[in-house]
C-alpha cells in the first residue's frame, strides 16, 4: 500500500493524516476488518504516532473505524444495514435526479451524457477497478448536473463518500459489468428521449441490482 500525505499549510497535521486515511478506507485500499497499527502507519506516513492516533479517533467518530478489545483499531466492516440505509437514500435521490434530467437536460448535457457512457465503457474494458468507479461516478454526476437543481447536486455530493465504499464493492464483481453497461445505456437513451417513466424504471433496477451484489459479497465475507 502506498500512503502519502498531501500537506496543507492551513490544516493541522492530524487533519492531513485523517484525510489520507479516510480516502484510503473509502477507496478500498484498506480492507474491512483490517487492523490499523499506529506505529506502522506513522512510519509509512513519516509522522509521529500522535497525529495518527488522533486521526484514528476521528475516523471512529465517522463510523469508518471501530475499536476492538485486545486488537485495537480496525476498518469498520460493511454491514447489510449500513448498505440498505445508504442505498435507500441514494435510490430516492437517483430517482428524482433522472426524472428532472429527462425534463431539463439541454443539448450540452446530452453530449456530456453520451460521452460519459463511452468513457464508462472504456473504463470497463480497462478492467481497472479505480477507473471503473470513477467512470460510474462521472456518469451519475452528469445526470445530477442535468437536473439544474443546485440543492440536489449538493446533497448528492455530500452522500458521495458514504456511497463510495459500496460502489467499489459492486464494480469489483466483474460478472456484473455487462449489465452495468446495458443499464447505463438504457438510462441514457431514456433521458435523451425524455422518457421519464422508462428512465425511473431502469434507474430503480440499476440501484436494486447493485444492492443485491453488495449484500451477496458482504454476506459471503462474514
pTM across the whole model: 0.81
pLDDT score for 9? 66
- List, as own/partner pairs, every contact residues 214-218 make where C-beta atoms lie below 8 angstroms and the sequence separation is at least 24, other chains included: 214/78, 214/83, 214/166, 214/169, 214/170, 215/80, 215/83, 217/169, 217/170, 217/172, 217/173, 218/77, 218/78, 218/79, 218/80, 218/83, 218/169
Judge residue 106's burial from the number of C-beta atoms within 10 Å of its C-beta, 0-12 exposed, 13-18 middle, 19 or more buried.
exposed
Task: Report the CATH number of the 13-75 domain.
Answer: 1.10.10.10
pLDDT score for 221? 64
pLDDT score for 1? 59
Which residues are CB-contacts of 46 (< 8 A; sequence separation ≥ 6)? 5
pLDDT score for 222? 63
Q: Where do the domains of the chain lie?
A: 13-75, 80-221
Tell the CATH topology of 80-221.
Answer: 1.20.120
DSSP state of 72: E
Mean pLDDT, 10 residues at a time, the chain of 222 residues: 70 91 86 92 94 94 88 88 86 96 98 97 93 94 98 90 80 91 97 98 94 81 64
pLDDT score for 161? 72
Amino acid at each position: 500500500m502506498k500512503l502519502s500525505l498531501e500537506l496543507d499549510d492551513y490544516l493541522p497535521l492530524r487533519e492531513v493524516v485523517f484525510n489520507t486515511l479516510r480516502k484510503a478506507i473509502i477507496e478500498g485500499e484498506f480492507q474491512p476488518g483490517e487492523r490499523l497499527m499506529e506505529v506502522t502507519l506513522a512510519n509509512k506516513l513519516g509522522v509521529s504516532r500522535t497525529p495518527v492516533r488522533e486521526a484514528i479517533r476521528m475516523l471512529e467518530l465517522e463510523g469508518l473505524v471501530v475499536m476492538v478489545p485486545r486488537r485495537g483499531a480496525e476498518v469498520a466492516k460493511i454491514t447489510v444495514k449500513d448498505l440498505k440505509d445508504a442505498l435507500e437514500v441514494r435510490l430516492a435521490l437517483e430517482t428524482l435526479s433522472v426524472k428532472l434530467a429527462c425534463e431539463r437536460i439541454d443539448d450540452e448535457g446530452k453530449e456530456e451524457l453520451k460521452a460519459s457512457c463511452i468513457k464508462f465503457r472504456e473504463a470497463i474494458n480497462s478492467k481497472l477497478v479505480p477507473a471503473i468507479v470513477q467512470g460510474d461516478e462521472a456518469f451519475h454526476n452528469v445526470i445530477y448536473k442535468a437536473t439544474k437543481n443546485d440543492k440536489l447536486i449538493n446533497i448528492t455530493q455530500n452522500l458521495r463518500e458514504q456511497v463510495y465504499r459500496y460502489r467499489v464493492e459492486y464494480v469489483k464483481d466483474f460478472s456484473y459489468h455487462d449489465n452495468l453497461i446495458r443499464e447505463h445505456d438504457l438510462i441514457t437513451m431514456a433521458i435523451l428521449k425524455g422518457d421519464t417513466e422508462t428512465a425511473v424504471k431502469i434507474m430503480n433496477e440499476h440501484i436494486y441490482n447493485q444492492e443485491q451484489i453488495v449484500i451477496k459479497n458482504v454476506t459471503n465475507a462474514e
